[in-house]
Amino acid sequence: MSNVATAVSYAAVIDIGGTPIRILTDNDSFHRLVQNRYAGFLNSGSQAAAIELTIDLAPPGEISKREDVRVVRESACWSAERLDFRLDWDSKTGCGKVRQSANPYSLDSILRILHTLVLAHQGGFLLHASSAVRNGRAFLFFGPSGAGKTTIARLAPSDAALLTDEISYVRKEQSGYFAHGTPFTGELGRSGENISAPIAGLYYLVQAPRNNLTALKPAEAVRVLLESVLFFAEDPELVALVFQSACDLVSQLPVYKLEFERDPSVWDMLA
C-alpha cells in the first residue's frame, strides 16, 4: 500500500451496480468534478461502503511510466497502474490509496478495474456492450469496435431506458442475471440511468442490409461473449472465474447473432 498521507476533507460515495465505493479527497475542485461526473450514481457520503479509496492528486508524468494498464496482486493486495494513475487496494479491508491525475477518466479506469475484481467473485462481469431496458427487461448489445453498439442505442424507441452505450454491468443475483446502469459513456456522451432489470437476452451485433436474428450455440456464444468481457488482471484464478461466469450465463440466457440495418425497426424484433 502507498504511504502517501492525504488530509481528507471531502467524501463522495459512487454506487454502481449495488457496490458503493467511497472516494475521499482533500481537493475541493476534484470533489466537485467527481460529483458532476457521477451525478445520478451518488449516495450520501456517510453511507456504508464496501470499498474506500483515498485520492492523492499528481501530474501524470509523476505517477507511472507504464503506457498500458497493468493489474496484479500479492496475496490480498492488488495494484494497478498506468501513466495517469496508481492504485493500491487491500481486498480484505476494502481500503485503498490512489495517486492519479486530476481528471475523471483516470477515476473511471480505476472504478472499472475494481468492479471487475469484485464481480469476478459474484458470477458477473463488465461487458463492452450497450444496453437498455424496455418493458421491464434488459437487452445487451455487444461486439467488436464498429459493430454498432452506439448505433443501436440511438435507434432505441422512446420507451426504452438507456443503461449504457459503452460498458454494461452484468450481475448474478438469486433470481437470475440483471443488468445495471453505469456512468461509463461512449460516443453518446451520456450516462446511463441508475436502474436495473433482469436480462432478456444478449445480442452479438453484425451490421447488414437487413434485420435477422439467429440463436448462437453455447460454444460460439461463450467465444464471442468472452471477446467483449472487460478484465484487466493478470491472475489465473480470477480469469478462470470469469470464464466460468460466461459459461454459466450462456447456459441460462439466450445469446443471439443480430444482423441489423440502421433502422429503428430492428427493435421490433426484440421486445
Question: In this predicted structure, what is the pLDDT of residue 125?
Answer: 97
Residue 60 in grid coordinates? 501524470
* Residue 271 banded pLDDT, cuts 50, 70, 90: low
Residue 209 in grid coordinates? 442490409
| Residue 27, Cβ density class (10 Å: 0-12 exposed, 13-18 middle, ≥19 buried) | middle
Q: pLDDT tens digit string along 119-176? A: 999 999 999 999 999 999 999 999 988 889 999 999 999 999 999 999 999 999 999 9
Instruction: Report how far residue 145's alpha carbon sits from residue 38's, in angstroms, rounded to the nearest whole number.
Output: 25
Enumerate the domain spans of the chain: 10-120, 125-269
Question: In this predicted structure, what is the pLDDT of residue 3?
Answer: 47
The neighbouring-strand residues paired with 177 are 172
Instruction: Report how far residue 114's alpha carbon sits from residue 69's, in angstroms, rounded to the nearest whole number.
Output: 13
* Residue 9 banded pLDDT, cuts 50, 70, 90: confident
Average pLDDT over residues 255-265: 92
* Residue 47 banded pLDDT, cuts 50, 70, 90: low
Pairing state of beta strands 196-207 and 137-142?
parallel
Question: In this predicted structure, what is the pLDDT of residue 269?
Answer: 87
Q: Average the pLDDT over each of 43-47, 48-52, 84-88, 132-136 and give the range with the smallest value.
A: 43-47
Look up the pTM and report it.
0.92
* Residue 1 banded pLDDT, cuts 50, 70, 90: very low
Instruction: Report how far residue 198's alpha carbon sits from residue 179's, in angstroms, rounded to the nearest whole number.
Output: 6
Instruction: Report how far residue 148's alpha carbon sits from residue 259's, in angstroms, rounded to the nearest whole number.
Output: 10
Instruction: Report how far residue 89's alpha carbon sits from residue 233's, in angstroms, rounded to the nearest whole number.
Output: 13
Contact present, 234 and 72 (Cβ < 8 Å): yes
Contact present, 185 and 164 (Cβ < 8 Å): yes
> Does 43 have pLDDT greater than 90?
no
Contact present, 112 and 85 (Cβ < 8 Å): no
Whether CATH 3.90.228.20 fits 125-269:
yes
Contact present, 149 and 142 (Cβ < 8 Å): yes
> Does 16 have pLDDT greater than 50?
yes
Question: In this predicted structure, what is the pLDDT of residue 7?
Answer: 62
The neighbouring-strand residues paired with 178 are 171, 198
Cβ neighbours, 10 Å, residue 55: 25
Of 45, 54, 56, 52, residue with least CA distance to 94: 52
For all residues of the chain together, what is the average pLDDT? 92
